[in-house]
Structure 1
Amino acid sequence: MTDSLIFAVPKGRILDEALPLMARAGLTPEAEFHDKSSRKLQFGTNVPGVSLIRVRAFDAATFVAHGAADFGIVGSDVVDEFGYSALYAPVDLKIGACRLSVAEPQELAATDDPRGWSHVRVATKYPQTTSRHFAARGVQAECVKLNGAMELAPALGLTSRIVDLVSSGNTLKANGLVEVEVISEVTSRLIVARPAFKRKGAVMADWIARFREAADATSE
Structure 2
Amino acid sequence: MKPVIALTKGRLEKQFLAFLESLNYDIQPLKEKGRKLQVETEHFYAVFAKGVDVATYVEHGIADIGIVGEDILLEFEPDVYDLLPLPFGKCRLAVAGEQKAENKFAKQRIATKFPNITTKYFRERGKSVDIVKLEGSVELAPLLGLADDIVDIVETGNTLRENGLVVKEEMLSISARCIANRNSLKLKKAILAPLIDSFRIEEVAI
Q: Does TM, scored on the shorter chain, surpass 0.5?
A: yes
Structure 1 letter corresponding to 2:146:
L
Query: Which secondary structure state, in structure 2, belongs to the residue aligned with residue 52 of structure 1?
Result: strand
Distance 1:106 1:78 in 2: 28
Equivalent residues, number: 204
**1:40 and 2:20 equivalent?**
no
For residues 111-148 of structure 1, the C-alpha deviation after alignment (integer angstroms, 9 at most, x for no partner) is 78xxxxx9431111111111111111111132211121
Give the aligned partner of residue 123 of structure 1: 111
Distance 1:28 1:125 in 2: 35
Offset of 1:95 from its aligned partner?
Answer: 0.8
Offset of 1:99 from its aligned partner?
Answer: 0.2
For residues 127-173 of structure 1, the C-alpha deviation after alignment (integer angstroms, 9 at most, x for no partner) is 11111111111111322111211101111111111110001111001
Give the aligned partner of residue 91 of structure 1: 84
Give the aligned partner of residue 115 of structure 1: none
**1:12 and 2:10 equivalent?**
yes
Distance 1:90 1:6 in 2: 15
Offset of 1:25 from its aligned partner?
Answer: 4.5
**1:208 and 2:202 equivalent?**
no
For residues 9-57 of structure 1, the C-alpha deviation after alignment (integer angstroms, 9 at most, x for no partner) is 11222222211222345644453x3247x2211111122xx21011112
Distance 1:35 1:153 in 2: 38
Distance 1:179 1:41 in 2: 36
Query: Which secondary structure state, in structure 1, belongs to the residue aligned with residue 94 of structure 2?
Result: strand
Give the aligned partner of residue 150 of structure 1: 138
Distance 1:43 1:6 in 2: 10
| Structure 1, unpaired ranges of 5+ | 113-117
Query: Which secondary structure state, in structure 2, belongs to the residue aligned with residue 140 of structure 1?
Result: coil
Distance 2:49 2:3 in 1: 16
Q: Is the 8 A contact 1:29 1:43 kept in 2?
A: no
Alignment of 1:44-83 (within 5 A): 44-47=40-43, 50-83=44-77
Query: Which secondary structure state, in structure 2, belongs to the residue aligned with residue 107 of structure 1?
Result: coil
Give the aligned partner of residue 176 of structure 1: 164
Give the TM-score normalised by the residue count of structure 2: 0.90
Give the TM-score normalised by the residue count of structure 1: 0.85
1:192 to 164, 180, 193: 180
Q: Is the 8 A contact 1:120 1:139 kept in 2?
A: no
Offset of 1:207 from its aligned partner?
Answer: 2.2
Q: Is the 8 A contact 2:3 2:192 kept in 1?
A: no
Structure 1 letter corresponding to 2:182:
R
Query: Which secondary structure state, in structure 1, belongs to the residue aligned with residue 45 of structure 2?
Result: strand
Q: Is the 8 A contact 1:25 1:213 kept in 2?
A: no
